[in-house]
A and B are shown apart, each in its own frame.
Chain A
Amino acid sequence: MSYNKLSELCFKDCIWDFTSRTVKAQEDRCALNCMEKYLKMNQRISQRFQEFQIIANENAMAAAQKSGAIPR
């Protein structure tokens, strides 16, 4: 799923030199760093997103309780 997106993104950001058909060491390093960084970024984003969801849920529950939709 996101494998294709990851390839596209890191290719676009790292590969600029088309005077040779082999991947340079520098390009290889860049692409691998790009991948690792992207995965770490994804981890952080999902964590923050979950935190937000939990807070939003709590707020919704509190609002529902206040309006009397849910007893107790």
Chain B
Amino acid sequence: MTTALYSLCAAGAWVAAGYKLSATRRLRDPTVTAVCVTLALMGMVLTASIPPLRVWLDHQLASVNFGVLLTLVCVVAFSTSAQVMLLLWTRTAEDARGAVRNRLIALAGVVVLMTALFLAAHPGPHDHSFSRGSAGNLGYAACLLIYLAALGIAMLAIARLGWRYARLTDRPLVAHGLRLAAAGSTLVLAYCVYRLGTLVGAWFGRDTAYPETLLRLIAGSGALLIMLGLTLPSWGPRFVHGIDHLRRYARYRRLRSLWQSIVAGRHPELVLEHSTARALRRFAPGELHFRVYRRIIELSDARLALRPYIDPDARERARLLTRHLDEQERSAIVAATELRSAVRAEQSAAPAGHESPGTEPAPLDGDVASALAWWARVARAYARSEWVAEALAAPTDADVYAATPGSPRRPG
């Protein structure tokens, strides 16, 4: 399971870094470059941590657990990159230049120190015990402390900045991304604190059993959340548009039976173009938007054409029955009742015998999306609303007033 998790996280980090690389080339912005490098280094860390790969790396150089050393160095590099990213966020490029240079110099120094300590320490063949190899081995313990400190500092900084600026940004996807990154950093920070505890415990001879798989799951999940958070604002809009498109298509399909009933079946002269396009073509974004628009207009035209046949009594009954509902639902049910009563009267070629009543005003503001949502409600009510059926039947006034919320006769 650890192999699968780290492989997935590593793949995700490399994809995210590649995604940001294209933006780096296009925008030539040092902050974007810093995000890209941070993600790439996260990919290096996770790749080197995949157990089979780590074991293979450990055996490539005689007497040196190269896999462990590579992981430690990559973590320190990742921490430095994350700190540079945060510096470039919180300062202008000119103000951050000095601090960035200092961080890079410190990185070089720490890498040299860590490598020297590691080589001098000669830790034993790598096993899955993080701390046991350090007990009594000062050099190795120092390496592990540097590793934990570097990772912990970076995670703490990302978590603090992420939570803060998630509240302050006015872009919803950036806010969600920062929250995800902050949550991921918090998980990895918890991993660091626990590892520190076991390291200190091992040094004092307390070798407590701890769930290694669970710890790696926490660290891997934290890394995944950080990756998602740093890239969500880039791919999020496409994802949101994709969901919107699916929702729009579902609502368009829901209008079909109503459109067949009152437009294609009764007033075909209102149809601009009978579609013979395949379903796949109808689903294409540009084509779907046009078809949704046409469907709404044709339904509106049919609604006007059916006005002389509307039964005003049925409409009043529908208004009374639904007076406790919110405006959108109430107006949709009343409109569906009007249409049902008008279709019924038109079929019997008998206008209602009164001056043409107006139609129930639709609570719409000129927006296609809200019109589509409203007509989807009308279509649903037209097809199967018990309120509509009740309004079209001809009860006495007493029955209508009795059908109030809480009354046992109130339809569901």
| B partners with A | no
A residues engaging B (CB < 8 A)? none
Binding site for A on B (CB under 8 A): none
